[in-house]
Amino acid sequence: MKILVINAGSSSLKFQLLESKKWQVLYKGIIDGIGLPLCEFRSSHGNKDYRQIKSQHAAFKFGIDHILASEVIKDLSEIEAVGHRIVHGGEKYVSAVKVAPTVINEIKKLSSLAPLHNPHNLEGIKASQKLLKKAPDVAIFDTAFHQTMPEKAFMYPLPEKLYKKHNIRKYGFHGTSHKYVAEEARKYLGKRKSGNLITCHLGNGASITAVKNGKSIDTSMGFTPLEGVMMGTRSGDIDPAIIFHLMDKLKMKPEKIYEMLNYESGIKGIFGKNDIRELRDEFFKKKTKKSALAFEMYCYRIAKYIGSYLVALGQLDALVFTGGIGENAWYIRKWICDYLKIELNHKKNKRVEYPQKLQKISWGTPKVLVIPTNEELQIAKETLEVLS
């Protein structure tokens, strides 16, 4: 079966066409800058194009036209299913579902919890329903994997009615990635030796998850992706009283503070730029004070979360690194493991960058694994599961 995977964001559309027999990627594309004067298109078939694309619908059409032109399929009817990444599934969705009108309404309702994501994800579904009428759509939620968290982990110590009436609780995100790497680790280690895992998805956004017997029991992101570890541009955990201080003493507007916490904080707030590669270059070449501080804070805060999940799990079988930073930045993995006194195979750790498959980088226990994440593959697999 040929499955199209769609990740429709606020200004981008990423898509992949996969064949379910061997999970081969037939075509892969990204359209970046939707709604801006100039949009960039890149694909696995070497296409590159710049033009204005005004909507998700137009981007979807542009994408499938290119798939057709590449001749990996002869006709659009060969696309038998479409899997959509949906950021927020609230408490309603604990696994992937086939899209029906009720599902669309629920995703719409959940937009109040994820205003920056769900409306764009829905645009992707709508475009698919119009342009690929015969292919069923399946929704895969970033929050679903974390719905197994116990109450003690997902409740905030706030007046209970905020949860009961307004759904304020920890939801967690990056679920598709955490689930994928946890399953890969379990396949590699065997069930007996992988009961207790901590998965670290370190990309521009970052989250840490405690996984017990394949199920998420705690995760660092919360009601929104802002909670948790220090990220590229997000602050992660801070004292909430800072916000009231900024409103009161600096007369900052709530929207401005929200923007600052999401886009101007984290590594960018301390170092000035959010790409770890620029931080690495400045740190290793010039050892400036701000680059050392950004590194220390980033790794220390992640290590503290991992330490707290040792409490949640009791014992650790394996620590898993994934995401753009987790997969590629050996010095981040080393620094975090140094804080935790987890012994690495240093030669191996240093060599692992852009791994194509799972790599073990430790000598003893707990095992430390680097696993390239593949959210598209996970979405395609879950799409097939739902439809069969």
Q: Compute how many residues bind ligand ADP; rule: CB under 6 A.
A: 13
Quote the CA–CA distance of 216 and 194 in Å, as a whole number: 13
Q: Which helix (H) or strand (E) holds 182?
A: helix 175-189
Least Cβ distance, residue 159 to ligand ADP (angstroms): 33
Q: Which secondary structure element, helix H or strand E, spans residue 166, and what is its range? A: helix 160-166
Asked if 317 is an active-site residue, the reply is no
Looking at the Cβ atoms of 172 and 232, the one nearer to ligand ADP is: 232
Rounded to an integer, what is the distance from CA 374 to the centroid of its chain? 10
Question: What residues does 12 pair with on adjacent strands?
Answer: 32
Pick the binder of ligand ADP from 205, 266, 269, 366 (CB under 6 A).
205
Distance from first CA to last CA of the chain, Å, rounded?
A: 11
- Please identify which of the residues 142, 237, 248, 275 carries the catalytic annotation: 142
Binding mask 302-331 for ligand ADP (x = CB under 6 A): ---------------------xxx--xx--
Among 124, 172, 203, 225, binds ligand ADP (CB under 6 A): 203
CB 204, min distance to ligand ADP, A: 4
Q: What is the spatial distance between Cα 272 and Cα 278, in angstroms, rounded to a whole number?
A: 10
Nearer to ligand ADP, 80 or 275 (CB): 275
Cis peptide before 366 (omega within 30 of 0): yes
Which residues neighbour 280 within 8 Å (Cβ) at sequence distance 6 or greater? 329, 331
Q: Give the one residue of 12, 204, 308, 345 binding ligand ADP; rule: CB under 6 A.
A: 204
Name the residue nearer to ligand ADP (CB basis): 64 or 337: 337
Q: Which is nearer to ligand ADP, 236 or 366 (CB)?
A: 236
Beta carbon nearer to ligand ADP, 379 or 384: 379
> Which x/- pattern, by CB under 6 A, does the window 349-368 give for ligand ADP?
----x---------------
**3-state class (DSSP) for residue 67:** helix
- Binding to ligand ADP by CB under 6 A, coded x per residue (else -) over 267-296, reads --------xxx-------------------
Query: Closest separation between CB of residue 330 and ligand ADP, Å?
Result: 9
**Minimum separation from the CB atom of position 178 to ligand ADP (A):** 13
Whole-number Å distance between alpha carbons of 279 and 288: 10
* Dihedral sign (CA 235, 198, 315, 94): positive
Q: What are phi and psi of 343, to 5 degrees?
A: -80, 130
CB of 69 to ligand ADP, least distance (A): 27
Give bridge partners of residue 250 from the DSSP assignment: none
- Using CB under 6 A as the binding rule, the residues of this chain from 224 to 243 that contact ligand ADP are 232
Phi and psi dihedrals of 367, rounded to 5? -75, 150
Binding of residue 199 to ligand ADP (CB under 6 A) = no
Residue nearest ligand ADP, Cβ-based: 324
Bridge partners (DSSP) of residue 218 are: 210
Min dist. Cβ of residue 177 to ligand ADP (A): 8
* Token reading at 266: 């984290």
Residue 165 Cα to chain centre, angstroms: 28
Residues binding ligand ADP (CB under 6 A): 203-205, 232, 275-277, 323-325, 328-329, 353
Active site residues: 142
